[in-house]
A and B are shown apart, each in its own frame.
Chain A
Amino acid sequence: MNYSKKDRFLLMINKYVLIIATLIILLPLLYVLLASFLEPNVLLSKGISFNPDDWSVQGYVKILQNEAIIRGFFYSILYSVGFALVTVIVSILAAYPLSVEGFRGTKVIMIFFLITMFFSGGLIPTYLVVKDLGMLNSIWAIILPGAISVWNIILARTYFKAIPKELQEAAKIDGASDLLIFFKIILPLSKPIIFVLALYAFVGQWNSYFDAMIYLEDAKLHPLQLVLRSILIQNEVQPGMIGDQLAMAELKKMSEMIKYSSIILSSLPLIIMYPFFQKYFEKGVMVGSIK
């Protein structure tokens, strides 16, 4: 395509603005990554340094010795995997009948689900239900209340609907039961959507702190995000992290150091997953947009 002089100038501006936008995103992330490998003294006095003498893995050593962080990490994995499992199972089970042509009651059931998208009981009534069920301070409070998402059901239903009907009809004629059709025909064809739903659920749970904050009063059950909150935002140094005899300045330095390495640790599962899973996330957004 031939561009006029003015258009070429515009495209050049476009290029530079995009480069700047990319840098605005990238630089803070790189800063945290580099800072996590620096001696806290250097960071406090000189800022970022590229001199290998200033590098250290002390921050990582410290967090790996920290009981609260390690425990939080494992609880986060437990909650996220559990949440993803329940969400996926409940969503695809519910989505399948709603995708079957001629299924009686689709409309009523869809309305039943959709209403919850527009009206909600709110924080306190939901909290009271969870409390009355005796689920406070248990993994169920994290996993169950959020597991049902209309959005997920719609996503899965859209996907199932796109599967050619002939397969199911043929199986039906051969006398296969709904259970058999679902497990032998639908599920094997649905790996991408299961993947998408599981990832969304995992990442969402991994990154959230709110449910854990209100439902888990026992700090021993806290996921990583809540531990991080106390380190990054409330500036609390975990007991046992630092010997009593250390001076206040040393303490500040140490907390400065843990901040960066704990950010990296908490992002680790997502960083590992990110490039590999990117196309699935995008696919998820797209399926949703078709509706």
Chain B
Amino acid sequence: MTTDSKTNVFHKKKSLFQYMKQNYMLYLFLAPAIILTIIFKYIPMYGSIIAFKDFSPMKGIWASDWVGLEHFTKFLTSPNFGDIFMNTLKLSVYGLVLGFPVPIILALMLNQVKRASIKKNIQLILYAPNFISVVVITGMLFIFLSPTGPINTILSFFMDNPISFMSDPDAFVSIYILSGIWQGAGWASIIYVAALSNVDPQLHDAATIDGASLLQRVKHIDLPTLKPMMAVLFILSAGGIMGIGFEKAYLMQTAMNIPTSEIIATYVYKVGLQAGDYAYSSAVGLFNSIINVILLVFVNYVVKKLNEGEGLY
């Protein structure tokens, strides 16, 4: 037995080398991707140790002195911490809770449109905003919501004074989330629409013959079809909850709405790249990603419990 397995191992090792030699071209194919990944993903991962160092540009990351958790305690005890943390959480939790159901509802509704050409045209329009850049979306928000913009023109029939939405801290979260739904909901519904179009029509026919109403069929046929997808997508978006996009929040910031619009990502950018405090801002960023990983694991656990053992992993 022992000799057998030993020769096996030996045989395998030798043939792995031979295999690689025979198929060296395949390994060469992988080289660019692996090199890029090491340089731009793995080295920065290692570089995150800057968060535990007293970074001095003269010495570089590796030679700078260790300071342990100093930057983390500085962030956690800073007067900004509570606000920034809550702003980030609010933006993403509201975004998830309000934004998650919309594509599902859209897909269920589109599924009831029987004429294929009409359905296609509606989809064509609903998907379009997904291809508009954040700069343009935010620019449009500034145009539409400005005190002299179209929205205030409409509101002027009901109110005396125009509202300057973009400088109102109380309006920031709603504007951020509603414009996000406007832009993304149509595109996010694709995957659900496709799943629904794979449902066997005979199921619906049989249910109708048995006297099921439209709502009953949606509830007992359509929704269960979407359930596995909903679980996966929910875990993924909940896992990214603290990774809320920098790009739009940063553009939407005005001097006036900072109290609600400053989130961890924009803070990291300002402290790190604008003010040049590399180590401290890396610690803030690292803190954020750690929370993300914890959330992903936690949400996956909860969904697994609720969803009869079916989670992401």
Mark out the residues of chain B between 254 and 313 whose CB falls within 8 Å of any chain A CB in the assembled complex.
268-269, 272-273, 278, 281-282, 285-286, 289, 293, 296
A104 touches B47 (CB 8 A): no
Mark out the residues of chain B between 207 and 262 whose CB falls within 8 Å of any chain A CB in the assembled complex.
208, 213-215, 229, 246-247, 251
A-B contact pairs, 20 of them (CB 8 A): A11-B112, A11-B214, A14-B112, A18-B122, A90-B33, A93-B30, A105-B27, A109-B30, A113-B37, A122-B268, A122-B286, A122-B289, A126-B44, A128-B44, A148-B37, A178-B23, A178-B25, A179-B25, A214-B269, A225-B133
User: B20 CB to closest chain A CB, in angstroms?
Assistant: 7
The CA of A205 and the CA of B36, in the complex, are separated in Å by 18
Picked from B32, B144, B205, B272, the residue with its CB within 8 Å of the CB of A93 is B32
User: A101 CB to closest chain B CB, in angstroms?
Assistant: 12
Mark out the residues of chain B between 80 and 135 whose CB falls within 8 Å of any chain A CB in the assembled complex.
106, 109-110, 112-113, 122, 124-129, 131-135
The CA of A118 and the CA of B294, in the complex, are separated in Å by 11
A-side contacts of B163, CB under 8 Å: none
B40 touches A263 (CB 8 A): no
The chain A residue with its CB closest to the CB of B127 is: A278
Cβ of A187 within 8 Å of any chain B Cβ, yes or no, is no
A22 touches B135 (CB 8 A): no
Task: Please count how many residues in chain A sit with their CB below 8 Å of the partner chain's CB atoms.
Answer: 90
Mark out the residues of chain A between 267 and 287 whose CB falls within 8 Å of any chain B CB in the assembled complex.
267, 270, 274-275, 278, 281-282, 285-286
Cβ of B67 within 8 Å of any chain A Cβ, yes or no, is no
User: A28 CB to closest chain B CB, in angstroms?
Assistant: 6
B-side contacts of A78, CB under 8 Å: none
Cβ of A247 within 8 Å of any chain B Cβ, yes or no, is no
A-side contacts of B68, CB under 8 Å: none
Binding site for A on B (CB under 8 A): 16, 19-20, 23, 25-27, 29-30, 32-34, 36-37, 39-48, 50, 61, 106, 109-110, 112-113, 122, 124-129, 131-136, 138-140, 142-144, 148, 150, 153, 182, 186, 190-191, 194, 204-205, 208, 213-215, 229, 246-247, 251, 268-269, 272-273, 278, 281-282, 285-286, 289, 293, 296
A285 touches B190 (CB 8 A): yes
Picked from A17, A47, A129, the residue with its CB within 8 Å of the CB of B150 is A47
Interface string of A5-40 (1 = CB under 8 A from B): 011001100110110011011101101100000000
User: A287 CB to closest chain B CB, in angstroms?
Assistant: 11
Closest 10 CB pairs of A and B: A121-B44, A232-B139, A125-B47, A94-B33, A207-B133, A125-B44, A122-B285, A97-B26, A7-B214, A178-B25
Q: In the complex, which of the residues B48, B133, B281, B282 has the most CB atoms of chain A within 10 Å of its own CB atom?
A: B133
A104 touches B33 (CB 8 A): no
The CA of A116 and the CA of B39, in the complex, are separated in Å by 12
B182 touches A118 (CB 8 A): no
User: B264 CB to closest chain A CB, in angstroms?
Assistant: 11
Q: In the complex, which of the residues B61, B124, B131, B204 has the most CB atoms of chain A within 10 Å of its own CB atom?
A: B131
B-side contacts of A228, CB under 8 Å: 133, 135-136, 139
A-side contacts of B182, CB under 8 Å: 24-25
The CA of A179 and the CA of B191, in the complex, are separated in Å by 36
Cβ of A73 within 8 Å of any chain B Cβ, yes or no, is no
B50 touches A128 (CB 8 A): yes
Cβ of A50 within 8 Å of any chain B Cβ, yes or no, is no
B109 touches A209 (CB 8 A): no
B37 touches A18 (CB 8 A): no
The CA of A88 and the CA of B158, in the complex, are separated in Å by 54
A232 with B135, Cβ < 8 A, contacts A18-B113, A25-B126, A148-B37 known:
yes
B-side contacts of A231, CB under 8 Å: 139
A90 with B36, Cβ < 8 A, contacts A104-B19, A128-B61 known:
yes
Q: Give 18 A-B pairs besides A6-B213, A129-B43 with Cβ atoms closer than 8 angstroms.
A: A1-B205, A14-B112, A22-B126, A32-B143, A94-B33, A116-B41, A116-B42, A121-B43, A122-B282, A123-B272, A124-B273, A124-B278, A144-B40, A145-B40, A232-B139, A233-B139, A278-B124, A281-B127
Cβ of A89 within 8 Å of any chain B Cβ, yes or no, is yes
B-side contacts of A18, CB under 8 Å: 109-110, 113, 122
A26 touches B125 (CB 8 A): yes
B-side contacts of A245, CB under 8 Å: none
The CA of A141 and the CA of B29, in the complex, are separated in Å by 23
Mark out the residues of chain A between 85 and 118 whose CB falls within 8 Å of any chain B CB in the assembled complex.
89-91, 93-94, 96-98, 100, 103-105, 109, 112-113, 116, 118
A-side contacts of B48, CB under 8 Å: 121-122, 125
